[in-house]
Structures are given as structure tokens and as C-alpha cells.
Structure 1
Amino acid sequence: MKRLVLIGPLLLALAVPASLPAPALAAETATTTCPVRADPALFASEARLLELAERQEDFGRRPTGSPAHEDYIGWLEDEIGAVPGVQLSSLPYEIDRWDDLGTGLTVAGQAVQVAAPVPFSSSTGPGGVTAPLVYLPASTAITAANAAGKIVVRDLPWATVPNLLFYPPLLGYHMHDPAHTINMLGSDSSEAPAGADADLKAAAAAGAAGVLEVSRLPHAQIEGMYAPYEGLPYEVPGAYLGVDQGERIKQALAAGQPVQAALTVDAAWTPTTTRTVLATLPGVSEQKIVVESHTDGMSPVWDNGPLTMLEMARYLASLPVSCRPRTVQFAFVTGHLYQHLTGPAVREGGAGQLAALLDAEYDQGKVSSVVVLEHLGARRYNAVARAGGLPGLELVPDPTLTELLWVPVSESTPLRELVKGHVQYRDVRRTAVLKGLSAADLGTVPHHCGFGGEGTPYNQHLLPTISPISAPKTLFSSAFGAEALDVAAMRRASLAFTDVVLGLGPMPQADVAGDVTFMRSQRASGTPGCV
């Protein structure tokens, strides 16, 4: 597989914004009154955000480097490039794109619906692979003794997280839930298709012929499932099945007779180029606030951050330059669905690549902070028992609630207070301002290594980071479109984080950084970072 040899100096040069011409600064007056918060009348309406989400949905599924992904990047580049004053550049990466050419399954000679292949599966070619089936429940390890030469049937795991984690003094800093919709002593659970990663690796080591991952949800709700997304090849083919298809297979196996299956995952690796687009809006200072989101995804919920970024850029560009004390750089990042973007050694995606560049610039005073936007306004879906005695669960939209928005903020009290204040002012309900999304380890810098998504590498590179993200149950399937968005909630969150960027502009860097400054000196002295 081809990998990009990153040309650091060239990419670093592309990432540094050009100096603002002196005449533009001279045209501003010292008497300009600058907003503390965005004027909602001058910001995108709900109708506008819905229009953008539906336009995004028109591109379809967007695996990294796919034609649909490149079309979406081009559209975003055209949109952001039309914003007055924006300067464009990009960071290219060469990858081998994984293409699904066709997936199918027959069991005992009967065709069975397949919801999706497991991305980056080994290709069987068009002829498929034929082998006996074996059902191995999650409590049973996949070994050569029970799986060699067989197609393993496996249940996808569900992850359960206690709500108490998101309150002080644990991971929480502040909870905004004025209607008290969250049971502090309760928990939430959702399917975890990332668990397929361990299954496929174990199956390959055991000499299995393939893996069938069975969901608790019906076919229609997991169609187009896309996870895991490491960007590394698995050594066995794998596919996802809905609960009905999985139950029929388990019942056939329960009869005790051998059941033959033919699994086809016809796939190809295609050399291509993908890119991160940087759109720089100059301010009084060249020191950057970087606003980031990824462009590859399966649905409008998964990667709607760029839509907020477009409207944030339009609003900020409408202000006098003197109202942008710092430059704002919008980073439309690739490689979220191809985490080993530059090879097998490092799991980072495009966010990790950009974080490394910003880390190198930070001590030169060129970078102030990073704001990462993911999954804003995700409607909450509840997993409930299916009607009519059907097996498994189905996702039903909650009529009033959005998904809990996690907002990890790096270790600065002024930064956390800034976020808390704007979340409360815009009433972004069901929001937890957090210290992190992993347990504290006082032996590393930072102490909380995980931020739950794209924000993680920026935090791990010791950059002041604000990283809102939610975990909707609809996330990994392209079966859900714009209807999985609460556009009113998305707009409130978009306004709140535009306010945050406005607040970051004049904030003293010492307040922005907080304990990050000391942690960077600890790192320089040999304190280990996150592994």
C-alpha cells in the first residue's frame, strides 16, 4: 500500500497564514465597537442550515478519498473560498483507497441480506469464500480450535456509560441540563461497531475464513454501516447483518447440523490523493485560532461541523478586521475515516497530522487555540424493543431531546468558564463541559488523554483545545439523513461556538493556555505524553 512521505517544511509553509496587508489594518478605526456575541439576525437561519445539511446529504456516503468525498471537499472549498478575505491552501496525502465492489451472502443456498461490508476487509474477489458457519458468543474467545476454516458469526457489543461520569467531580466541569432530563444515577448504552476490529483480528489469527457481525438493530437501520475505519487492511473478509438475518442464522446453527455459507466481499485498493483544506481569515495578529472539523463521513450528523464553519466564517468575515484580534483558520480535515493516514505506525488521521504542525508552531507564538466541531444538534434516538415480538431493538427518535453534547476543554479555568458562559447564554441544552473523556493520569501531560474524537490529537499535542462532540446512536449508518438533526439545536450550538471564537480573539494567551503552558515545559523536561 502506498503511503505519503510527509514533506514537513512544505506543509508547514502552507499552513502559515500570509501577513495581513498594512492598508487593510490602517483602514480600521480605534473606535470600532466589536460584538461580544454573534448577532443571530446576521447568522445563518435554521432554514439555511437545513439547506446545507440536505446539500451535504446529496453527496452520499463519503469514505476517505472516494469520488463523493472529493466532490464534497470541492464544494466546501468553493463555499469557503467565496467568503471575502479568505486565503486558501491545502495539505495533500496519498493513500490507497478501499473500494467496495460488491458484498453478498448465501446461507444453505439461500440469499441473505447484508447491511454492509466491514471497511478495509480482505477481498474474496467476485467468487467469494465458502465455509461452514460457527456462532461464537461474545463470552467465547475466537481461537484456532473453534474458528479455523470457518465463517464466524459474532454479536456486536453494546457499550454502557454511567451518566455520573459527566458531572463534577469526575470528568465533569459543568452540566447544562436546566430541565433535568438526565438521570444522574442512570446510564446510556449504544452499539459499538468498533468492536468488530478485535473480532476480525482474532479471526485472522485463528485462521477463520470470514466474520459476520450481527447487530441488535434491523437491517434498515444499519444499512451502510461504516466502522471501524483504521485505514489498514484486515486479513479476513467481514460483513454486517441486521438482527433478523442474524437470528435466522443462529436458529439454523442451533439445530446442530453443519450450515455452509458463501461470503463475498469483493474489494479493491485504489491509489488516490485526499486533502485537508485550510481557509485562513486574517486578523490583526497572525496568531491563529484554528477551527476544525472532518469532511469524510456517512451522514449529515457525522460531519456537519464544516457546515457550521462555513457560516461562522461568513459571520466573522462580515466584521471589521479590528474585531478579529487573532487570525482564524478554518481546517476542513481529511482522514477521519482513514486513521492510519500516513502508514501503520501512527493512528492519527488528518487531525493528528495538523496537530503536529500546530504543535511545532505554538512555541513560536503562531497558534493560540483549537476549536473542533463535531455532531452538533444530533437528535436523540432511543433503542426500544421492536413491536410485534420481532427480535432485537429499533431506534426511535425522541420527540424533544437532543443527544448529550460533550465539550472537553483543556486544562484552563478561564477557557472552561468561557465555554460554560456561552453554552448557558445560548441555552445549548444537554451539554456537559468536561475536563476530558478519559480517566486522569497525573503521570502524563496532558492528564486527560482522550477527548472523544477529532479533538484528541490537538489535546495530546498540548494545544489549548475546545472539542464539542456527541455520540448519537445513528452515527455510523448512512441510513439516517438530515432527519437525524435537530436544526434548531444545531443553530444554538453554532452560535455558542461562534461566540467562543469571538471570546478567544481578545483573551490573553496566558488565560487561553492555563496549565498547558506548564505542561509543555514538563514535556520538554521529559514527562511522558499520551501513548
Structure 2
Amino acid sequence: MRPARCVAFIGVVTVFALQLTTPAVAATDCGPAIDEKTFASAAQLRALNATVAGFGVRATGSPNHNRLISWLERRADRLPGVSVRSEPFAITRWQPGPGFLLSGGAVPVAGAIPYSEPGLRAGELVSLPAGTPITPGNARGKVVLRAFPALDRGYLAEPLLDRDMVDAGTAGAAGVVIAFPFPHEQVKGYWDPHLGTHYRVPGVFVGSDAAARLVPGTRTTIGVLAARVPAVTRSLVATLPGVSGERIVLDTNTDGVGWVQENGTVALLALAEHFARLPLRCRPRTIEFVFATGHLHRPAEGSEFKARALDRDYDSGSVAFAFVLEHLGTREFLPVDGSLQATGLAEFSGWFAGSPVLAGSAFTALAGRAVDRTFVLPGSDLPVPGRVPPQCSFGGIGTHFHSHLVPTMAMISGPWTLWAPAFGASAVDHERMRRQVLAAGDAITALAPVPRDEIAGPYLAQRQARAAGAPTCSHDLPPEWAPRR
């Protein structure tokens, strides 16, 4: 995933052995797991998710995003014992507007490609098949038509879409049209790439029905109505004190689209409300709830900057572990006869864990809450011998913490609906989401009294190896601006 994009977690990986033991829980009257009778119901989670989705497209630093952050801030600030602070980041905001396409008549546009160049351009429409590089020789002054990459899940296309937009800009193309194999209504508002890199060429998405009207060789006008303005965005950090100042850090992002990306905000709110109700003795460690900004504008990726801070703090003993929650309760949709259709199953999900103790708590929590179609994995990329850690990617923003050698767990899925907000509430099974959040809370509860070094396991030796000069993962973030031609 380059560091922390939403990448594949189903692949050639090593799964932690099932015989891993779960850490013993200190005897208290606080209970070894969450009492589900007092936890937010599926209906309450759905109502919270409806509120989050109701803010509309939460492009980083946009008015919608700012309103969501303020709502989260008010909600967290009124919890007993919780204090909230902000971490600001300056960005050049991309405020989305509609896209336009004229090619032998008006053609319906599903949406502008995020961060594409505002403006209106025209040129001959040229179709370039998959695998054909976009160059000045085949694209200068032309509108390039590409089919959306044929991949198992849509989010896997991000590096290819990004490459096409960068190459089209340096080639001097007039614009880029990406044609989905699915109808217009299913891909309206599609949002990817989510790098936050401002491109040098306008680009639009079209559905299969609109793409059928496009004829290569036709003079085509393409346009994107959008604004680029300086802005300040912010992450929220809500701190709930425990018996010890040593921290458990829970993280998700706030910028997003639709009901799936990002509903981790709902999970963090529900967990914060649960833990805030407990007496202090039931919180052996302080818990930080990080509502991070910048995942749709990754030059200001708040989770990366938080991970850097935890990396600096870790050796002082003030950090126990991090846990990232993303894209919860998702239903599986697959291509059938030219459209995306629900299979009736849950989307596969991953629970990444970087140590045996973390993995053991994940296995136990998943079994205890009957969460199916979930893999406990040590990473989503191939291991590299001698690198620390050997596997860098945790499939999403958990990568930032794990690659900084902070003991980390991360729960994530990557459905077709991730960047397709048109599916709305149908994309999420809130009963399943509740079981996942309960499982996450159970793992946090079980790990809360476990000694820090036991939780860390191999991370301690990896940190020592890094200090001695061993190679590690890249922490580079995408550039805010694509190169000029």
C-alpha cells in the first residue's frame, strides 16, 4: 500500500497460528469483556452512521468535513472525564463540484476524479487500452478514454488511476475519462484516488451506460468545476484518563464519503461512550481516541503524524499499543451481468496484529462475538527478510502505526462500496458492525492490564534492530501537487 493506502489484505501472507494463547486478565470486578446489554445497539450505531453519512462528501477541509469534526468534538467533549484537543494541518483544499462531458452531445458524468484540474478543455477522444502508457505521442491535446481497471475490488485500482492522471498531465492531455463497467447510478460520486495529490488535467468518471455513447475520434469537451483554496484541517484527540498514564490509542479518519468510508468514527464514539461510563479502576490505562484528518488528502495524513509522535514516545514507556478501525459492517457486492449486486454475505475483512499477544486477543474476541469471514493476519504484503517490520502494510491507516514499530492492531475491509457512496445504507450490516465493535472492545479490555512488553513481543527486538541500522518501511507521503509537464 505505499504507506497506508487501502490495499489488499487477501494474498500471500503468513497467518498467526491458531494455538496462540490469550493473555490472562487481571482479576477485577470490571469484567473481562464488554457487557453487550449496556453497549450501543445496532439501531443506535445505524443512527450514528446515518448522521455521519448525512454530512455528505467530507472532502478534507471542506465545510461538510468541518461540520462533522465539530459534531464529533461536541459529542466527545460531553463524555465524563474526556478532554478533547485539536491538531491542525495547513492544506490546499480541493472542493469538489460537478464534471462535464460533451461528445456528440451531452454525456452523463458520474463525478469528477478527485483532485483533478478545474477548468474546461477540448480535444479528440482517443481510447487507450489497459497497459498502454499515456504519453505525449498518443495523448497530447487529446481526451483519453480508459476502462476502469479489471480487478477483484475497486480500491485496488488506485495506483493505476493515479498513474494515469499523473501521466496525462505530463503528456499534455486535454483530459481523462474513466469508464466503469457498472451503470451510472452505481458509480455516482465515486471517490478514488484518495491521495490528495492535485492533478494537472481534468478527469471524470462515467458509468457503462454513458460510456456506450462515447465514440473515439469525436471532438470531446471535458470540464471539472472545483475549487483549490488554502485551508486548515484538524484531527481531534479525545483523552479518557485511566489508572496509568500509559496510553492505548484508537484511531480512525474523519474525511470520507458515504456510509462505509469512514464509519470507524461511529465505532470510536461507541467505544468512547462505553469506556467513559466505567469507573476509573476498570481502565488500567489511559485511552486516546484519535479522529484523524487527511486520509483523503494524504500529504496531511493525520494518522501518519500521530504514528510519528507515538514512535518518539514509545521508548519512554508512555504507549502500550494502537488499534485502528475502518470500514466496518460491510456487505459483499460483486459484479454480476454488468452491475454490482449484493451476494448476501459479509465482505471479507482483516484483523491485522503485529505480535502473538495481539493476535491471540483478536482470535478470542472474534470467536466470542461470532464474527465470520475475518482473517487475523500479520500483514498484507510479502515479508522482506531483514526489514523491520518484515511486512509493512496493515491494509489501511494501521500501516502508519505498525510501520513505525508501535505495537498495532487494525480492523479493515475493502468492499466495492468503499468509494461508491451511491449504495448508501445498503452497504452496511449494522448488526455485524456491532459484533465487530464489541470484539474490538473485548480485545481492548483484555489487553488493558497486560504488561506492555508482553503486548509488544517482536516489536521490541525490531526497534532495537532499527536503531542498529536495519532497513525499515517507507514513511513518505504523497506529494500535494503532481509534476508539471
SS of the aligned residue for 1:439 comes to: coil
In the TM superposition, what is the alpha-carbon distance from 1:450 to its structure 2 partner? 0.8
In the TM superposition, what is the alpha-carbon distance from 1:433 to its structure 2 partner? 0.3
- For residues 119-159 of structure 1, give each alpha carbon's deviation from its aligned partner in whole angstroms, at most 9, with x where no partner exists: 111122xxx11111100010322222211111100111132
SS of the aligned residue for 1:519 comes to: helix
Aligned counterpart, 1:3: none
Rate the CA distance shift 1:31–1:444 in 2: closer, same or farther, 3 A: closer
Is residue 2:72 matched to residue 1:76? yes
CA–CA distance in structure 2, aligned partners of residues 471 and 114 of structure 1: 25
Is residue 2:427 matched to residue 1:484? yes
CA–CA distance in structure 1, aligned partners of residues 340 and 239 of structure 2: 40
- 1:156–1:195 Cα contact (<8 Å) kept: no
Is residue 2:328 matched to residue 1:376? yes
CA–CA distance in structure 2, aligned partners of residues 307 and 100 of structure 1: 25
Rate the CA distance shift 1:227–1:194 in 2: closer, same or farther, 3 A: farther
CA–CA distance in structure 2, aligned partners of residues 106 and 73 of structure 1: 38
SS of the aligned residue for 1:480 comes to: helix
Larger Rg: 1
Aligned counterpart, 2:384: 441
In the TM superposition, what is the alpha-carbon distance from 1:443 to its structure 2 partner? 2.3
- Which of 383, 394, 397 aligns to 2:342? It is 397
* C-alpha RMSD of matched pairs (Å): 1.5
Tell which has more relative contact order, 1 or 2 (C-alpha 8 A, sep 6+).
2
Q: Which moved more, 1:329-338 or 1:435-444?
A: 435-444
Aligned counterpart, 1:307: 266
CA–CA distance in structure 2, aligned partners of residues 220 and 381 of structure 1: 15
After TM superposition, list the pairs within 5 Å mapping 1:390-429 onto structure 2.
393-399=338-344, 401-410=345-354, 412-429=355-372
- Which of 482, 499, 516 aligns to 2:442? It is 499
CA–CA distance in structure 2, aligned partners of residues 450 and 466 of structure 1: 12
- Which of 135, 152, 163 aligns to 1:143? It is 135
SS of the aligned residue for 1:134 comes to: strand
CA–CA distance in structure 1, aligned partners of residues 52 and 154 of structure 2: 28
Is residue 2:375 matched to residue 1:432? yes
SS of the aligned residue for 2:307 comes to: helix
CA–CA distance in structure 1, aligned partners of residues 161 and 27 of structure 2: 59
- 2:155–2:418 Cα contact (<8 Å) kept: no
In the TM superposition, what is the alpha-carbon distance from 1:360 to its structure 2 partner? 0.6
Amino acid at match of 2:99: T
SS of the aligned residue for 1:300 comes to: coil
In the TM superposition, what is the alpha-carbon distance from 1:362 to its structure 2 partner? 0.5
CA–CA distance in structure 1, aligned partners of residues 389 and 90 of structure 2: 31
After TM superposition, list the pairs within 5 Å mapping 1:71-470 onto structure 2.
71-108=67-104, 110-124=105-119, 128-160=120-152, 192-249=157-214, 252-253=215-216, 258-341=217-300, 349-385=301-337, 393-399=338-344, 401-410=345-354, 412-470=355-413
- 2:162–2:193 Cα contact (<8 Å) kept: yes
Amino acid at match of 1:439: L
- For residues 341-378 of structure 1, give each alpha carbon's deviation from its aligned partner in whole angstroms, at most 9, with x where no partner exists: 2xxxxxxx111011001111111111110000001110
SS of the aligned residue for 2:392 comes to: coil
Is residue 2:45 matched to residue 1:44? no
* Unmatched 5+ stretches in structure 2: 1-25, 475-485
CA–CA distance in structure 2, aligned partners of residues 512 and 275 of structure 1: 30
CA–CA distance in structure 2, aligned partners of residues 350 and 332 of structure 1: 9
- 1:156–1:193 Cα contact (<8 Å) kept: no
CA–CA distance in structure 2, aligned partners of residues 243 and 46 of structure 1: 35
In the TM superposition, what is the alpha-carbon distance from 1:510 to its structure 2 partner? 1.4
Aligned counterpart, 1:471: 414
Rate the CA distance shift 1:31–1:456 in 2: closer, same or farther, 3 A: closer
CA–CA distance in structure 1, aligned partners of residues 283 and 252 of structure 2: 21
CA–CA distance in structure 1, aligned partners of residues 443 and 261 of structure 2: 22
SS of the aligned residue for 1:192 comes to: helix
TM-score by length of 2: 0.90
In the TM superposition, what is the alpha-carbon distance from 1:329 to its structure 2 partner? 0.5
Amino acid at match of 1:192: A
Percent of matched pairs sharing the same residue = 40
- For residues 67-121 of structure 1, give each alpha carbon's deviation from its aligned partner in whole angstroms, at most 9, with x where no partner exists: 111111111111111111101111011111112344211002x000111111111
Rate the CA distance shift 1:447–1:528 in 2: closer, same or farther, 3 A: same
CA–CA distance in structure 1, aligned partners of residues 312 and 158 of structure 2: 35
- 1:156–1:191 Cα contact (<8 Å) kept: no
- 1:229–1:337 Cα contact (<8 Å) kept: yes
In the TM superposition, what is the alpha-carbon distance from 1:189 to its structure 2 partner? 7.6
Q: What stretches of structure 1 move > 6 A for 4+ residues in a row? A: 188-191
In the TM superposition, what is the alpha-carbon distance from 1:191 to its structure 2 partner? 6.6
TM-score by length of 1: 0.82
SS of the aligned residue for 2:225 comes to: strand
Aligned counterpart, 1:23: none
- For residues 263-295 of structure 1, give each alpha carbon's deviation from its aligned partner in whole angstroms, at most 9, with x where no partner exists: 111322111111100001100110000011100
